[in-house]
Amino acid sequence: MRAIRFHQHGDAGTMRLDHVEQPTPGFGQVLVKVAGTSFNPVDATIRAGHLRQVFPVALPHTPGIDVAGTVTAVGEGVTGLHVGAQVIGFLPMTADGAAAEYVLASGEVLAAAPTTIPLADAAALPATGLTAWQALFEHADVQPGQRILINGAGGAVGGYAVQLAVQAGATVVATAGERNAERVRGYGAQVIGRDIGGLAGPFDTVLNFAPVAPADMVTLAGLVRDGGALVTTTTPGPQDDPRGVRSISVFVHPDAGRLAALVELVDADKLHIHVAGHVTLDELPAVHARSDAGTLSGKTVITV
């Protein structure tokens, strides 16, 4: 089968299209024929080798932590999945991923795919949708009536977070660049551009989903009410705030049950999946290069 792999850590030039043996599912696993995967910023971090202690991948490595596809073989010990089932999942970050024609997945991380959107596009949901939900409700405990700030709402995680927070009854103020502002406003947020300098707090919770400098995290912490929370997926927030502001770093974890709930929202037209662009498998190295250059915007789906 065809798979994109990098044989050493380095720039996007280390990636190439290889022909590799199709894997066979072991106990608890299924084989998924990939319809789509999606690019996540962490893919470039892993490829570059910046976080080898956190993500110790064996080389050569196939990236792609999101999968949408069709089950073609079922290993022993798997229940609730059958050949032909259309599924999506958030795959372990250190296993070979879905930038390939087939990928192995534990049956435990998969959920039925949405039925109302193209299967490949559903690969835009798992990692970022789960991150948004976990940030809002496992870490921040966002409640109806609260006023929250979402920094980086123009991105994939931010877009889902705005929609989920508005549905939960929160009042959402959001930062987003010009190209994303109108869409984020359509999700129900008050959008203030990208500049956090002139913002007036306090907010019950501030969520940061943008790759910002540590100084910006200090500014964001200052916008949180006494005893509130600053939740971030990127740069850590300041610790030991005398006002009791808790700084929480998110580390997304798989949750097939929650993913199924997000799929229900998609099919009920209550959670919009925004795909900024589609590429084919052989174009994935170019997507990594654009990410490294800072010119990639929004969620890219890789169709296989």
Question: At which residue do the structure tokens 């372990």 appear?
Answer: 92
Q: Does 201 bind ligand NAP (CB under 6 A)?
A: no
Least distance between ligand NAP and beta carbon 213 (Å): 7
Q: Does 254 bind ligand NAP (CB under 6 A)?
A: no
Q: What are phi and psi of 267, to 5 degrees?
A: -70, -20
- Sheet containing 171-175: which strands, arranged edge to edge? 190-191, 171-175, 147-151, 203-208, 224-232, 246-249
Separation of alpha carbons 28 and 78, rounded Å: 5
According to DSSP, the β-strands at 2-6 and 15-19 are antiparallel
Q: Does 172 bind ligand NAP (CB under 6 A)?
A: no
Judged by CB under 6 A, the residue of 177, 188, 201, 202 near ligand NAP is 177
User: 72: which 2 tokens?
Assistant: 């073609």
For the window 19-58, what string marks contact with ligand NAP as x by the rule CB under 6 A?
---------------------xxx----------------
Q: Which stretch binds ligand NAP (CB under 6 A): 29-37, 90-98, 102-110, 172-180?
A: 172-180
Q: Which stretch binds ligand NAP (CB under 6 A): 1-9, 15-23, 92-100, 292-300?
A: 292-300
Name the residue nearer to ligand NAP (CB basis): 42 or 275.
Answer: 42
Least distance between ligand NAP and beta carbon 33 (Å): 25
Q: Does 129 bind ligand NAP (CB under 6 A)?
A: no
Q: Does 212 bind ligand NAP (CB under 6 A)?
A: yes
Separation of alpha carbons 281 and 36, rounded Å: 9
Give the sign of the dihedral formed by CA 178, CA 150, CA 127, CA 183: negative
Least distance between ligand NAP and beta carbon 175 (Å): 6
Cα–Cα distance list, 79 to 66, 70, 111 (Å): 21, 16, 12
Give kind and range of the element (H or E) at residue 113: none
Name the residue nearer to ligand NAP (CB basis): 30 or 210.
Answer: 210
Judged by CB under 6 A, the residue of 156, 223, 231, 281 near ligand NAP is 156
Q: For residue 133, which amino acid is it?
A: W
Q: Does 136 bind ligand NAP (CB under 6 A)?
A: no
Separation of alpha carbons 77 and 99, rounded Å: 26
Q: What are phi and psi of 193, to 5 degrees?
A: 80, -155
Note if the bond before 202 is cis, omega within 30 degrees. Answer: yes
Q: Which stretch binds ligand NAP (CB under 6 A): 22-30, 59-67, 146-154, 198-206?
A: 146-154
Q: Give contact residues for ligand NAP (rule: CB under 6 A).
A: 40-42, 127-128, 131, 151-152, 154-158, 175-177, 180, 194, 209-212, 233-234, 250-252, 297-299
